[in-house]
Amino acid sequence: MVEFILPDLGENIVSGDVVSVMVATGDTVEVGQNVLEIETDKAVIEVPSSVAGKVTDVLVKEGDSVKPGQVIFTVEATILNEPAPTIPPVETAPPPADAAPAAAKAEPAEETPPPPTEPADFIFELPDLGENIVAGTVVNVPVEKGTHVEKDDTVLEIETDKAVLDVPAPVSGTVLKIMVKAGDTVSPGTPVMIFSAFAPVTETAAPAAAATEPVSLPEKPVAAASQPSSPMQTLPAPPPIAPNGKQIHVAAAPSVRRIAREIGVDITQVPGTGPGGRITMTDVKNFSRRMHAERAEIEKQLAERPAAGGGFVQKPLPDFSKWGEIDRQPMNNVRRVTAEHLSYAWYAPHVTQFDKVDITELEVMRKKYAPRAEAAGGKLTITAILLKFVASALKAFPQFNASIDMESHEIIYKKYYHIGVAVDTPRGLLVPVIRDVDRKNVIQLSVELMEISERARNRKTKMDELQGGTFSITNLGGIGGTAFTPIINAPEVAILGISRGSFEPRYNKATGQFEPRMMLPLSLSYDHRIIDGADAARFVRWLAEALENPFLSVLEG
């Protein structure tokens, strides 16, 4: 009788839940045949058999929690999926004493299997890039064939519709093959590189245990069977995550999940028609066809009638070339998504409130304490100061720190204060977010503002830096202009625009004279569905009075 032992499931994975058992007592199994599906905290993994023969007993069932090294089933024959034929056969008990000479003779043959630290080929598949991101463009491949990398070194730069992301190496090793180049469009799950990585040493691989314990299955046994000298490894896809942060169980094979990712289908929405509700390849393809058909119908309906809420559907453009020379250039990802997002944002009924703020005293204070910010690594700009004042204003006027849900007819008030700041970059407008502005002093905000602005201009913005904003600020004062109407960064409900400050004559009642004062123009655009005009005027006046009467304590806490 031979036992099939559950092999290691991956780095730091100590257990998993049985999703399905693909064999039963009396079945005949072959080496490499999938016999079990295990759901870990990272993915659903198909486990192939390392033994062949007739199944005599199945020791687990669906729903059981299992660990590497646990006996799953037994078979009558003893056919192991060995990385080399010289590994001794499985013994159910220690060999007798008189067998020692034979074991000694076999020792030279045992040296032929590769040691636990011999390099193994590792196929690196592009991981998920973020929520709702189905593809990206390769901007740069900073490594080449033969380059040695350490784990977490950047091996790819991918431009998505939100940012340029650094993709780290999942392992340490040498680059054997690069499957993509700059300009390629890739999606999560696409093989992008092959590394010669060092396989970890495991207890089950220790030679000393071979004589007393069943031989455990090497990592990725199917690939080992097809390429004994170079077993391929791949990164498992992460399981779907529900809005509450819990994993969603989906009964589908990894190959089905990969196809779903590649064609942009959310597999958690696909109804399964297989045994026990299992999702098949046909289910995914049929769902994709229905999804595209529904989308086409919606687009057709939009084209046949005016868009609701103040939006518009673009009419077909004329042939401009008949009037002269033209040059068509494709939008980059940032510009395309900005155009789509602002078209969507304009559906909200915008109103803009204008005002001017006397910042004469504030300017004196800003110049006085600017060296302190520079010593900390920042720059004390009017935007950095406004961040702090705006956070206080949002606490006084919570409807400006909210979102509106028209489907449920609810207003979502946020108890955190994450403020986005628009940054002009060569690729277009980006709005990185500074988190917990209310908990930071102006010096800290000046440093963080400089850092995120530089990362945005150098294409180093991280994905999470562009998400979660509750309010936005955009400053065009460095360029010019007296006022403008900024567009709300949906799903936020308000945005503050800043124009160039200038000296203007202002009447002083105390002296009866006109005096030159530094006046800063503010433009507050807001969603009229949730914010009334009177509230907007009060918000701007509150902000103006706070700026006109600054306190030193604001600078440092």
Same domain as 152, residue 107: no
Q: Which pair of tokens denotes residue 18?
A: 């049985």
Confidence (pLDDT) at 502: 94
Confidence (pLDDT) at 515: 94
Cis amide leading into 491 (omega within 30): yes
| Number of separate domains in the chain | 3
Residue at token pair 């909210």: 402
Q: Structure pTM?
A: 0.49
User: Which of 198, 231, 257 is the last residue in one of the domains?
Assistant: 198
Same domain as 459, residue 552: yes
Higher local confidence (pLDDT), 305 or 335: 335
Q: Is the pLDDT of residue 192 over 60?
A: yes
Same domain as 344, residue 492: yes
Same domain as 23, residue 165: no
Higher local confidence (pLDDT), 381 or 333: 381
Asked if the structure places residue 253 within a domain, the reply is: no
Higher local confidence (pLDDT), 121 or 201: 121
- pLDDT level of residue 131 (50, 70, 90 thresholds): low
Residue 307, number of CB atoms within 10 A of its CB: 12
When the pLDDT of each residue in the chain is averaged and rounded to a whole number, the result is: 78
Asked if the structure places residue 141 within a domain, the reply is: yes
Confidence (pLDDT) at 205: 37
Same domain as 105, residue 129: no
Of the listed ranges 153-157, 216-220, 282-286, 464-468, the least confidently predicted one is 216-220
Q: Which pair of tokens denotes residue 479?
A: 């360029």
Cα gap 461→474, rounded to integer Å: 18
Most confident range (mean pLDDT) of 66-70, 236-240, 304-308, 329-333 is 66-70
Asked if the structure places residue 410 within a domain, the reply is: yes
pLDDT digits (tens, 9 = 90+) for 237-267: 444 544 444 445 567 777 788 788 777 787 8
Q: Where are the beta strands (DSSP E) in 368-501?
A: 402-405, 410-413, 419-421, 423-425, 428-430, 433-434, 471-475, 494-498
The radius of gyration of the chain's CA atoms, rounded to the nearest angstrom, is 32
Q: Is the pLDDT of residue 527 over 80?
A: yes
User: Which of 163, 198, 233 is the last residue in one of the domains?
Assistant: 198
CATH of the domain at 148: 2.40.50.100
Nearest to 522 by CA among 493, 496, 554: 496
Cα gap 414→436, rounded to integer Å: 12
Whether the CB-CB separation of 447 and 434 falls below 8 Å is answered with no
Q: Is the pLDDT of residue 228 over 80?
A: no
Asked if the structure places residue 441 within a domain, the reply is: yes
Confidence (pLDDT) at 435: 96
Q: Which of these is catalytic: 148, 292, 409, 528? A: 528
Confidence (pLDDT) at 285: 85
- pLDDT level of residue 550 (50, 70, 90 thresholds): confident
Same domain as 63, residue 131: no
Whether the CB-CB separation of 161 and 428 falls below 8 Å is answered with no
Burial group, residue 546, by CB count within 10 angstroms (0-12, 13-18, 19+): buried
Does the annotation mark 528 as catalytic?
Answer: yes
Same domain as 152, residue 60: no
Q: Which residues pair with 2 in a beta bridge?
A: 75
pLDDT digits (tens, 9 = 90+) for 285-326: 888 888 777 666 655 655 554 444 444 556 677 788 888 888
Confidence (pLDDT) at 207: 38
The arithmetic mean of pLDDT across residues 146-168, rounded, is 84
Cα gap 252→278, rounded to integer Å: 6
Same domain as 130, residue 36: no
Q: Which pair of tokens denotes residue 67?
A: 């660990």
The arithmetic mean of pLDDT across residues 450-466, rounded, is 88
Same domain as 159, residue 107: no
Of the listed ranges 103-112, 123-132, 445-454, the least confidently predicted one is 103-112
Q: Which pair of tokens denotes residue 354?
A: 């204008």
Confidence (pLDDT) at 198: 52
CATH of the domain at 482: 3.30.559.10
Cα gap 417→397, rounded to integer Å: 12
Same domain as 427, residue 406: yes
Confidence (pLDDT) at 42: 55
Confidence (pLDDT) at 295: 67
Same domain as 155, residue 140: yes
Asked if the structure places residue 292 within a domain, the reply is: no
Confidence (pLDDT) at 397: 96
Q: Please, what is the angle between helix 442-457 and helix 360-375, to 10°?
A: 70
The arithmetic mean of pLDDT across residues 9-27, rounded, is 81
Asked if the structure places residue 304 within a domain, the reply is: no
Which stretch of DSSP H or E encloses residue 56? strand 53-58
Q: Is the pLDDT of residue 279 over 80?
A: yes
Asked if the structure places residue 302 within a domain, the reply is: no
Q: Which amino acid is at 418?
A: H
Cα gap 15→8, rounded to integer Å: 9
The arithmetic mean of pLDDT across residues 507-534, rounded, is 94
Structural domain for 82, as ranges:
2-112+212-217
Cα gap 389→359, rounded to integer Å: 13
Question: What percent of the chain shows pLDDT beyond 90?
Answer: 32
Same domain as 25, residue 47: yes
Q: Which residues pair with 412 in a beta bridge?
A: 403
pLDDT digits (tens, 9 = 90+) for 479-507: 988 999 999 998 899 999 999 999 999 99
Question: What percent of the chain shows pLDDT beyond 70?
Answer: 74
The arithmetic mean of pLDDT across residues 9-14, rounded, is 67
Q: Which residues pair with 182 in a beta bridge?
A: none
Whether the CB-CB separation of 514 and 505 falls below 8 Å is answered with yes
Asked if the structure places residue 287 within a domain, the reply is: no
Q: Which amino acid is at 479?
A: I
pLDDT digits (tens, 9 = 90+) for 74-119: 888 644 444 433 333 434 444 444 444 444 444 444 444 444 444 4
Instruction: Tell me the residue length of the chain.
Output: 557
Nearest to 39 by CA among 253, 274, 259: 253
User: Which of 165, 198, 231 is the last residue in one of the domains?
Assistant: 198
Residue at token pair 């196809």: 259
Confidence (pLDDT) at 50: 83
